[in-house]
Amino acid sequence: MKKIMFVCSLILFVIVGMASYTAVYAVENITVAGGEVLPDQQQAEPVESAISSVVQKVEYTLPYPGILPDHPLYFLKRLRDTILERLITDPIRKAEFYVLQSDKRLQMGIMLTDGGKGNLGESTISKAEKYMEQAAVGLSAYKKSGGIVPPYVVERLEKATAKHKEVMTDLLEKVQETEKAGLEGSMTLLKEVIASLGSLK
């Protein structure tokens, strides 16, 4: 009798175990259009899509520009910058000065555009990219004359130009049509500068 009860209990245990396994397997494997998709995969796909859709921002901080071109005393700032530019004779220091001026004017352009002065913002950004071009051209001439461009300077130029490209791409999506032509011209110049940076290494 005990043997019969033991056998019955064993059979019942096996049946319950198989039923539980089948239920779990059915939950874990959801059949969709001829293929099996796991719940984990269903949850992971939207997350991966969301991550891939996030644009990676360039880790480069633009400096505070101070007074803007629409300020009545801005001419004093320009005079100061002109004097500083002429006093700097070292090619590396001058390139760094140009990058700084470029970054400041880009930030000015952003602030002016956001303040509803798109035309002035566009012309200020144009000056920004001309400064960036001066930095690259100066370093290129310095290297051709036998000078060595420090890697950190090239790296800064690469990060700065990448940030400028990111900012102008965003601006082109929100400025008025009358301002796009000028920004597109600045973007073209910037891309030429970016293409030339490889020769500095």
CA triplet 165, 168, 169: central angle to 5 degrees?
A: 80
* 87 lies in the same domain as 11: no
Alpha-carbon distance 62 to 164, whole Å? 9
Q: Determine the structural domain holding residue 31 and report its residue range.
A: 2-53
User: Does pLDDT of 111 surpass 80?
Assistant: yes
Residue at 64 is within a domain: no
Q: Where are the alpha helices (DSSP H) in the chain?
A: 2-28, 39-53, 74-87, 91-114, 118-144, 151-172, 177-196
Give the confidence band of 191 by pLDDT, cuts at 50, 70, 90.
very high
77 φ, ψ (degrees, to nearest 5): -65, -40
Residue at 18 is within a domain: yes
Half-sphere exposure for 195 (CA within 13 Å, toward CB) = 6
* 195 lies in the same domain as 97: yes
How many domains would you assign to the chain?
2
Average pLDDT, the chain: 81
* 114 lies in the same domain as 191: yes
Q: Provide the pLDDT for residue 20.
A: 41
Residue at 61 is within a domain: no
Query: Average pLDDT, stretch 151-173?
Result: 97
* 78 lies in the same domain as 20: no
* 136 lies in the same domain as 185: yes
* 175 lies in the same domain as 84: yes
Question: What residues contact 191, with CB distance under 8 A and at least 6 apart?
Answer: 165
What pLDDT digit, counting tens, does each position of 21-54 carry?
Answer: 333 333 333 333 334 444 444 444 444 443 333 4
Q: Where are the alpha helices (DSSP H) in 29-117?
A: 39-53, 74-87, 91-114
The kind and range of the H/E element at 35 are strand 35-37
* 192 lies in the same domain as 116: yes
Residue at 65 is within a domain: no
**Hey, is 186 helix, strand or coil?**
helix
Between 75 and 201, the more confident residue is 75
Instruction: Check the CA dihedral 127-176-193-103 and report its sign.
Output: positive
pTM greater than 0.85 (yes/no):
no
